[in-house]
């Protein structure tokens, strides 16, 4: 239980330290911060695996006045996904920002983001979740603006407006729920079906989260923001930040008000997810810039996570959805980091003008290919296990339509990824060629995308123990 | 008229004005102000619903609103700083790229 507290406060303290010391001794702070946070997560994981679901009132103050931390198997998986992606980005971001003035702002924001993501995954209090959502936004938007170009500033303003409106819609929903049900506890909400305020509150909260998560049809801010951000920031944003909001959509519906989730609401949410999968893939196929392809791919991949709603009766589908979140997280971070390396060497990310992809890019292109294998859902990658479980869940319930959609969407992903990789293959220089210019990618830039892509493939081999964690839960699917 | 109802209706009107402003206005300063109007509508609603007949009001919504105000101030400060930088670099005051008109 101290693990849960320190997983939030340790990165927060390090964020302050890094800022106050003007980045002096950053390496030491990084080592101390990362070690402390990982140890907290290990302690927390040990406690949850041993004793089951863990509830910890902060400072000994019980709800409703106090705030309770809550950890179950799903929260653990998300915390570890966050830790893996955040840590993999560290060497890359150190090399990317170097000693520029921007590094002074990047690292405190990075620590604050880790702290608030951990806080979000560990909260079960609706108001505390509002605070955490805002903290995540206020850490993520400045990181987009760090790119400094006019396009990036425009994108971050658009992102900020969407996110602020989203969190206020969430807060209005929370106010309605508190006035009606008299509790802020996500797991303590009474049966809400038939209450006049319940559907309105649920709708407001869901719409707010859709805006934060860039779920279709509120995705307009995501491609410019993720496309214009610096590469290490795009990786974190696409892998973790939008997923945190989707995680809350799942939490709120499956834990908060499962009785509101009738067949109609489930099918409607599923259709929205399906539309995101198809339209997002088509948009990704039509983009002319590499990072925009990857950003639209995020819009499409987030749609999968909504498929749990029509398939909620099946535990296999639930496992598939969660596993898809994990596999997409590491694969998408790898894609963005690899794209960042391509931009360093080529100087831009316009697909039509990609020429002379020198042999220095070989590790990055290999990482791109491996991550693409997982996104398409080819065996043995993590994405394959996720799709397999989803198809199994759909067929169990006799809803073959969703199974077809999952398979078709895999083909669409293959279409836009092969379109990009065809350009890579056609314009790859022979070994030794195209190495002119001073561009040398060190291991700090080459290894992170490679490791993340290997993790995406490796997830397919070690699925069993991770999926077993999901059975540590109270309520839910 | 019931006092709570009056506050709730006021909050609903403010919320509507704010959402309208956010969607219709293109000047970014007005959009940021619109977000603040929406925020105040929600805070007003929380405070109004904290009333309990003949008893001291419920403290939980008050604590929520205090926290909410801090968040709103920080978010607004950040949005304004971002807007100033955007205006300085591009000369635009809207996301559609409209030039500043003697502002």
Statement: the pTM of the whole predicted model exceeds 0.80:
yes
Q: Supply the pLDDT for residue A444.
A: 86
Chain A: which residues have CB within 8 Å of chain B?
64-65, 127, 130-131, 134, 137-138, 141-142, 145, 150, 153-154, 156-158, 160-161, 164-165, 168, 171-172, 175, 178-179, 184
Closest CA to A3 of A53, A63, A56: A56
Average pLDDT over residues B59-66: 89
In angstroms, rounded to a whole number, what is the distance separating the alpha carbons of residues A414 and A231?
A: 23
Instruction: Take residue A134 and report the two structure tokens written for it.
Output: 């805002």
| Contacts within 8 Å (CB) and 24+ apart, A254-259 | A254/A308, A254/A312, A254/A475, A254/A476, A254/A477, A255/A124, A255/A186, A255/A187, A255/A475, A255/A476, A256/A186, A256/A187, A256/A189, A257/A189, A257/A192, A257/A193, A257/A198, A257/A202, A258/A475, A258/A476, A259/A191, A259/A192, A259/A193
Instruction: Give B33 to chain A, closest Cα distance, Å.
Output: 11
* Percentage above 90 pLDDT, chain B: 55
Give Cβ neighbours of residue A422 (< 8 Å, ≥ 6 apart). Answer: none
> Contact A292/A343 with Cβ under 8 angstroms?
no
- Residues A213-232: tens digit of each pLDDT: 999 889 899 999 998 999 99
- Give the number of domains in chain A: 1
Q: Is the pLDDT of residue B34 over 90?
A: yes
Residue A188 domain-assigned (yes or no)? no
Q: Which among B28, B32, B45 has the least Cβ separation from residue A175? A: B45
Give residue for tokens 């319930």.
Answer: A397
Q: What is the CATH number of the domain that holds B8?
A: 1.10.287.3510
In angstroms, rounded to a whole number, what is the distance separating the alpha carbons of residues B25 and B2?
A: 34
Residue A351 domain-assigned (yes or no)? yes
Residue A477 domain-assigned (yes or no)? yes
> Contact B95/A154 with Cβ under 8 angstroms?
yes
Residue B84 domain-assigned (yes or no)? yes
Residue A182 domain-assigned (yes or no)? no
> Contact A302/A246 with Cβ under 8 angstroms?
yes
Instruction: Give A178 to chain B, closest Cα distance, Å.
Output: 9
Contacts of B82 in chain A (CB under 8 A): 141-142, 145, 153, 156-157, 160
Helix (H, G, I), strand (E, B) or coil at A56: strand
- What's the pLDDT band for B102 if we cut at 50, 70, 90? very low
- Give the number of domains in chain B: 1
- Number of H helices and number of E strands within chain A? 18, 2
- What's the pLDDT band for A137 if we cut at 50, 70, 90? very high
Residue A447 domain-assigned (yes or no)? yes
Residue A67 domain-assigned (yes or no)? no
Contacts of A161 in chain B (CB under 8 A): 22, 31-32, 35
Closest CA to A305 of A263, A245, A376: A245
Cis omega (within 30 of 0) for bond into A220: no
Residue A19 domain-assigned (yes or no)? no
Domain that holds residue A330: 262-477
DSSP annotation of A239 reads: I
- What's the pLDDT band for A121 if we cut at 50, 70, 90? very high
> Contact A438/A309 with Cβ under 8 angstroms?
no
Residue B100 domain-assigned (yes or no)? no
- What's the pLDDT band for A181 if we cut at 50, 70, 90? confident
In angstroms, rounded to a whole number, what is the distance separating the alpha carbons of residues A327 and A374?
A: 7
Residue A348 domain-assigned (yes or no)? yes
Domain that holds residue B75: 3-90
DSSP annotation of A71 reads: E
How many Cβ pairs within 8 Å bridge chains A and B? Answer: 75
Residue A145 to residue B35, Cβ atoms within 8 A? no
Q: Which segment of A21-25, A210-214, A231-235 scores lowest on mean pLDDT? A: A21-25
Give Cβ neighbours of residue A375 (< 8 Å, ≥ 6 apart). Answer: A297, A301, A328, A331, A332, A335, A383, A413, A417
Q: Supply the pLDDT for residue B103.
A: 40
Q: Which helix (H) or strand (E) holds A54?
A: strand A54-57
In angstroms, rounded to a whole number, what is the distance separating the alpha carbons of residues A273 and A189?
A: 26
Helix (H, G, I), strand (E, B) or coil at A312: coil
Q: Is the pLDDT of residue A66 over 80?
A: no
Residue B79 to residue A131, Cβ atoms within 8 A? no
């Amino acid at each position: 239980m101290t693990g849960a507290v320190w997983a939030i406060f340790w990165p927060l303290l390090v964020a302050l330290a890094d800022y106050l010391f003007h980045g002096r001794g950053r390496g030491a702070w990084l080592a101390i911060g990362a070690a402390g946070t990982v140890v907290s997560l290990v302690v927390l994981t040990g406690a949850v695996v041993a004793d089951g679901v863990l509830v910890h009132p902060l400072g000994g103050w019980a709800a409703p006045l106090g705030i309770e931390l809550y950890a179950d198997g799903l929260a653990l998986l998300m915390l570890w996904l966050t830790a893996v992606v955040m840590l993999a980005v560290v060497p890359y971001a150190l090399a990317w920002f170097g000693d520029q003035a921007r590094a002074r702002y990047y690292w405190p924001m990075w620590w604050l983001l880790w702290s608030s993501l951990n806080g979000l995954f560990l909260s079960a209090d609706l108001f505390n979740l509002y605070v955490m959502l805002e903290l995540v936004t206020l850490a993520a938007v400045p990181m987009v603006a760090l790119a400094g170009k006019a396009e990036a500033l425009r994108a971050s303003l658009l992102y900020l407006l969407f996110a602020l409106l989203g969190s206020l819609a969430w807060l209005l929903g929370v106010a309605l729920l508190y006035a009606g049900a008299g509790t802020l506890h996500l797991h303590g909400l009474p049966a809400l079906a038939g209450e006049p305020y319940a559907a309105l509150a649920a709708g407001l909260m869901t719409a707010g989260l859709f805006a934060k998560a860039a779920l279709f049809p509120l995705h307009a801010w995501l491609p410019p923001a993720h496309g214009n951000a610096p590469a290490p920031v795009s990786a974190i944003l696409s892998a973790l930040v939008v997923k945190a909001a989707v995680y809350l959509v799942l939490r709120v519906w499956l834990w908060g008000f499962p009785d509101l989730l009738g067949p109609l609401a489930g099918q409607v949410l599923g259709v929205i997810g399906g539309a995101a999968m198809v339209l997002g893939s088509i948009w990704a196929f039509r983009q002319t810039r590499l990072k925009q392809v990857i950003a639209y791919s995020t819009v499409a991949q987030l749609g999968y996570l909504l498929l749990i709603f029509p398939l909620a009766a099946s535990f296999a589908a639930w496992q598939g959805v969660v596993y898809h979140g994990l596999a997409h997280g590491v694969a998408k971070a790898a894609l963005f980091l690899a794209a960042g390396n391509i931009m360093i060497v080529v100087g831009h990310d316009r697909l039509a003008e990609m020429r002379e992809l020198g042999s220095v890019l070989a590790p990055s292109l290999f990482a791109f290919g491996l991550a693409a294998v997982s996104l398409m859902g080819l065996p043995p990658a993590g994405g394959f296990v996720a799709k397999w479980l989803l198809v199994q869940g759909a067929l169990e319930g006799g809803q073959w339509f969703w199974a077809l959609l999952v398979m078709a969407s895999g083909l669409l992903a293959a279409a836009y990824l092969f379109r990009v990789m065809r350009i890579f293959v056609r314009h790859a220089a022979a070994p030794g060629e195209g190495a002119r210019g001073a561009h040398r990618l060190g291991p700090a830039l080459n290894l992170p995308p490679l490791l993340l892509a290997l993790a995406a493939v490796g997830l397919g081999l070690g699925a069993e123990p991770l999926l077993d964690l999901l059975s540590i839960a109270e309520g839910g699917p | 008229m019931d006092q709570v109802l009056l506050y709730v209706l006021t909050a609903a009107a403010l919320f509507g004005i704010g959402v309208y402003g956010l969607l219709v206005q293109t000047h970014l300063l007005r959009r940021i102000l619109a977000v603040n109007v929406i925020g105040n509508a929600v805070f007003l609603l929380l405070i109004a619903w904290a009333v309990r007949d003949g008893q001291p009001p419920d403290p939980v919504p008050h604590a929520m609103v205090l926290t909410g105000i801090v968040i709103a101030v920080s978010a607004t400060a950040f949005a304004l700083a971002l807007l100033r930088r955007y205006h300085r670099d591009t000369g635009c005051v809207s996301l559609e790229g409209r030039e500043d008109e003697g502002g």
